[in-house]
Structure 1
Amino acid sequence: MGNQCRSLAARASKQQLFEKVGVHQTQEGFGITLDKHPLRTPSKNPLVLPSKALALAVAAEWRWQQNHKLQPSTMPLMSLAATAIDEPKPRHAVIDTLLSHVHTDATCCREQTGPIAARQAEVYRPIVEAVSKRLGVQFHVTDSIFGAEQPESTALAIRSYLEGLSNWSLAGTAELIASCRSVVVGIAISEGLVDVEQGLEAARVEENFQIEGWGLVEGGHDIDSAGLKVQVAAPSIFLRLLQSKD
C-alpha cells in the first residue's frame, strides 16, 4: 500500500517545507494543493478525488506531515487514491489475482475437528452466509488441505462483482481482500455486511485462538494486531468516504 506514497514523499521532501494544504473543487471532482501547487500522483496524473469527504481526509494526512518528517505509512488514504488513479497494475490483472484465491479462501477452508474448528465455524459462518446472500451464490466449505473447489457460478459471480466496481472501489476492496487474506471477508467489509472489528476477528481467528491459550507475546502479537487494524480500517474508511455526498 505504501509504494505510491513513498514515491510522493521522496519528491515532496525535496521541496519541503510546505506551509498550507488546500482543497478545491474542479470540474472532475476535488483537488488538493500544497502552497497552491496542485498535487499529482507518482505517475504525475492530477490528484482529483471523487468526493469532498475523501479529499478533506487526504488533505488531513498531508497536514499531519507539516510538523513531521514525511512518513508514507501515515498516508494510507493518499496511497489508495494514487493507486486508483495510476492503476500501477491493470484492472484485469488485479481481478485475476484476487480470484486466484477464491478456492483457498480461509473462510471456506477449515480445521477438521476440535476447539479451533468450532471457533472458525462461529466466526466464519455468518460472514459466508451474508456474502452468499448478497451475491446470490453458494460457497463450499471443506476441511481438506487442498482447498475448497467453488462452483463455477460462484467464481463467475465474484468476477462480475469485482468487474462492476469503479477503479476507486476496486482499489479499496482489493486492499481489504489482501489484508484479510480472504475474498469473502474483504467483500463483506466492503459491502458493509460486517464492521472492521468483525473483519479483524475473522482475519485473526487462529492467532487470537493461540493467544487465548498461550498468552500474548508483547512486541509480537500486539504489533501484528495493530498493523493489521490499520491495513483493514484504512480501505474501509476510504470506501465510506467515496460514498459520502457531503
Structure 2
Amino acid sequence: MSDWKPKRFWKQAAVAEMAEGYTVELDGRQVRTPAKEPLLLPTRALAEAIAAEWDAQEKEVDPTSMPYTRTANAAIDKVRIQHGEVADMLAAYGDSDLLCYRADSPAELTERQALSWDPVLDWAAETLGARLLPVQGVMHQAQPASAIETLTRQVHALNPFQLAAFHDLVSLSGSLVLGFAAALNWREADEIWQISRLDETWQEEQWGPDEEARALAALKRVAFLHAKAVYDIST
C-alpha cells in the first residue's frame, strides 16, 4: 500500500464571498471537492472553519484532521444530489426510534429510560408536532403515520449541509428525535449524546467496562459533537 500523501502547495487559505455563497481559496484558487465540484458553502462561518483546516496543514495534507472539509464535501458530492433519498432514510428512523423501545425489566432500568426518554418524546410532540409512542420489548411496532409524515417533512426541509450533519446526529444516536433535539438545542449536545447511550451505560454498570467499546464510543461522541457544530454553522 502506498504511503503517498498530497503535499501542501499553498501559502494561504482564505474565505471568499461569491454570488452563490462563500468558498475557500488557496492562494486565490478555489477549492474543489473530490468530485471536482466548486466548494460553495452557505455561510461564512462554515467557510472560515474549512479555511482554518486548510491553513493548519503542514508539509503533508492529512484529511483525517479536516472534519469540516469532509462534511462539506459529502454535502456537495453526495447529499445534494441524493437529497430526497437521504432525507427519507433518516426519517425512517422515526418508525423504529431508539427512544420508543423500552425494557420490561428490571424496574431500575425501565424507570431510568422513562426519566431520560419521556421528556424528549414530550418535547417532540410539542415542538415538532409529532407524538411517538413508547412500547415494551424489541419487536417492531409501527408509529402513527401522521407523526412520521410530520417528521419526514421537517427532514426534507433541511439544506444539504444541514442534512449531512443531521445524518450523523441521527445515525450515531440511533434516534430521529434525538437528532432533532440536538439540532434544535433541546439540551446541550453532550447531554443528548449521553441520553442516547443510556442502555450501554446501564450494561457497563452491571458488567463492567469494555475498553474497546469505550474507545469506539469516544470516537462516536466526537463525531456527534462535530455534526452538531456543522449543523449550527450551516444555516
TM-score calculated relative to the size of structure 1: 0.86
The 1-side partners of 2:218 and 2:61 are apart by 21
Aligned pair partner of 2:158 in 154, 165, 171: 165
Aligned pair partner of 1:117 in 110, 122, 130: 110
Partner amino acid for 2:117? Y
Query: Offset at 1:209?
Result: 1.6
Does the alignment pair 1:235 with 2:192? no
The 1-side partners of 2:63 and 2:12 are apart by 19
Q: Give the superposed CA RMSD.
A: 2.1
Question: After the TM superposition, which residues 90-101 of structure 1 pair with which residues of structure 2 at under 5 Å, given as runs?
Answer: 90-101=82-93
Partner amino acid for 1:77? Y
Name the structure 1 match of 2:184: 191
Name the structure 2 match of 1:75: 66
Aligned pair partner of 2:19 in 16, 27, 35: 27
The 1-side partners of 2:169 and 2:48 are apart by 22
User: Number of paired residues?
Assistant: 231
Contact 1:61 1:74 in 2 (8 A): yes
Query: Offset at 1:196?
Result: 1.1
SS of residue in 2 equivalent to 1:48: coil
Gap regions ≥5 residues in structure 2:
none
Query: Offset at 1:36?
Result: 2.4
Query: Offset at 1:192?
Result: 1.3
Contact 2:7 2:61 in 1 (8 A): no
SS of residue in 1 equivalent to 2:99: coil
Query: Offset at 1:13?
Result: 4.1
- Identical positions, percent: 26
TM-score calculated relative to the size of structure 2: 0.89
Does the alignment pair 1:49 with 2:48? no
Query: Offset at 1:152?
Result: 0.6
Gap regions ≥5 residues in structure 1:
1-9
Contact 1:190 1:236 in 2 (8 A): yes
Range moving further from structure 2, 156-165 or 117-126: 117-126
Contact 1:127 1:194 in 2 (8 A): no
Query: Offset at 1:109?
Result: 0.7
The 2-side partners of 1:122 and 1:151 are apart by 23
The 1-side partners of 2:179 and 2:225 are apart by 11
Ranges of 4+ aligned residues in structure 1 off by more than 4 Å: none
Contact 1:105 1:183 in 2 (8 A): yes
The 2-side partners of 1:77 and 1:194 are apart by 23
Partner amino acid for 2:225? A
Contact 1:109 1:148 in 2 (8 A): no
